[in-house]
Amino acid sequence: MLTQTTTRVLDPSDLDAALAVLDREPVANAFVTARVQVAGLDPWRLGGEMWGWYEDGMLASLCYAGANLVPICATPRAVRGFADRARRAGRRCSSIVGPATPTAQLWRLLEPSWGPAREVRTRQPLMVTDRLPDDITPDPYVRRVRKDEMDTIMPACVAMFTEEVGVSPMAGDGGLLYQARVAELVGSGRSFARLDQDGKVVFKAEIGAATPHACQVQGVWVAPEYRGRGLAAPGMAAVLRYALEDVAPVVSLYVNDFNTAARAAYRRVGFQEVGAFMSVLF
């Protein structure tokens, strides 16, 4: 056991202690918890390192350092420790994302050496619900995407990602990693869509991270020519029904604060704001 205040890279023997930290905030930590529950703490399987911050010999905070840098239950002292380690390692991630307060502190400490960022989204409301709405009928045409429909769903996924993040997921490796992720969600039954009479996607969403305690909806998208027709709320109600029945008792998502239309649709379905995330995009 460590007896000083310090950071170190966790290994598989630290799994129980890491899960105990993650379980403190099961909704906010769902993304990282889901990865750890599947992959453990082996960096190769996890897709990155898990850094631990120890105080008085006890694991107090975490930071996932992979494609994203994610502070977890991070105190101000832990954030400073994680920032020191991140500076020494150099930037390897494509974004910093997490609860707004520690993420903002982490970015303040890293910006002099890692900046400038391509975009900083300082407030992304975290929204949660645990029940279906009483006054919105789930869209009966929203269904699980079949494994043989990858060619149908993929253009919509690329369009959503490009619109949301500002860069195409097909850049770099030609989209291999992104296609694999979409295929994983389709194969696991966590990709949903409504198609029009021509077989084109008009609404889609995925249940991304999933743990026994909570799951996270992501990739919500309505085709531009179908926006303003009231498809989002019934579509979300349909996805919510699947999520609550088949995946987890609590459903969450986070959304850009400037996306007033999406926030209104989520509120109509019963989601309530319980906190905020922040994202720094490189």
CATH at 21: 3.40.630
Please state the separation of Cα 78 from the chain's center in Å.
22
Identify the pLDDT of residue 174. 85
* pLDDT band per the 50, 70, 90 thresholds, residue 183: very high
Q: What percent of the chain has pLDDT over 90?
A: 94
Residue 266 lies in a domain: yes
111 and 151: one domain?
A: no
Residue 134 lies in a domain: no
Identify the pLDDT of residue 76. 96
The Cα 99–Cα 63 span in angstroms is 12
The Cα 128–Cα 217 span in angstroms is 10
77 and 155: one domain?
A: no
172 and 101: one domain?
A: no
Write out pLDDT tens, residues 49-80: 999 999 988 999 999 999 999 999 999 999 99
147 and 270: one domain?
A: yes
94 and 172: one domain?
A: no
Write out pLDDT tens, residues 218-238: 999 999 999 999 999 999 999
* pLDDT band per the 50, 70, 90 thresholds, residue 6: confident
The Cα 125–Cα 94 span in angstroms is 21
With beta carbons less than 8 A apart as the criterion, state whether 102 and 71 touch.
Answer: yes
Residues paired with residue 158 on neighbouring β-strands, in sequence order:
none
Number of domains in the chain: 2
Average pLDDT, the chain: 95
pLDDT at 2 over 60: no
* pLDDT band per the 50, 70, 90 thresholds, residue 4: low
What string of DSSP letters covers 220-281? EEE-GGGTTSS-HHHHHHHHHHHHHHHT-S-EEEE--TT-HHHHHHHHHHT-EEEEEEEEEE
The Cα 209–Cα 215 span in angstroms is 5
167 and 270: one domain?
A: yes
**Reported pTM:** 0.91
79 and 191: one domain?
A: no
What string of DSSP letters covers 191-227? EEEEE-TTS-EEEEEEEEEE-SS-EEEEEEEE-GGGT
96 and 151: one domain?
A: no
Identify the pLDDT of residue 173. 84
Final residue before a domain boundary, out of 100, 116, 132: 116
The predicted model gives 86-110 an average pLDDT of 97
* pLDDT band per the 50, 70, 90 thresholds, residue 171: confident
Q: Is 71 helix (H, G, I), strand (E, B) or coil?
A: strand
With beta carbons less than 8 A apart as the criterion, state whether 200 and 223 touch.
Answer: yes
Tell me: cis bond preceding 116? Omega within 30 of 0 counts: yes
pLDDT at 5 over 60: yes
146 and 259: one domain?
A: yes
The Cα 158–Cα 20 span in angstroms is 36
203 and 89: one domain?
A: no
Q: What are phi and psi of 184, to 5 degrees?
A: -65, -45
The predicted model gives 169-195 an average pLDDT of 93
The CATH number assigned to the domain holding 185 equals 3.40.630.30
Residue 149 lies in a domain: yes
Write out pLDDT tens, residues 103-124: 999 999 999 999 999 999 999 9
Residue 122 lies in a domain: no
Please state the separation of Cα 206 from the chain's center in Å.
11
CA distances in angstroms from 75 to 36, 60, 69, 106, 143, listed in the order given: 21, 8, 15, 11, 42
The predicted model gives 20-38 an average pLDDT of 97
What string of DSSP letters covers 116-184? PPSEEEEEEEEEEESS--SS-PPPTT-EEPPGGGHHHHHHHHHHHHHHHHSS-TTSTTTTHHHHHHHHH
83 and 167: one domain?
A: no
Structural domain boundaries enclosing 50: 6-116
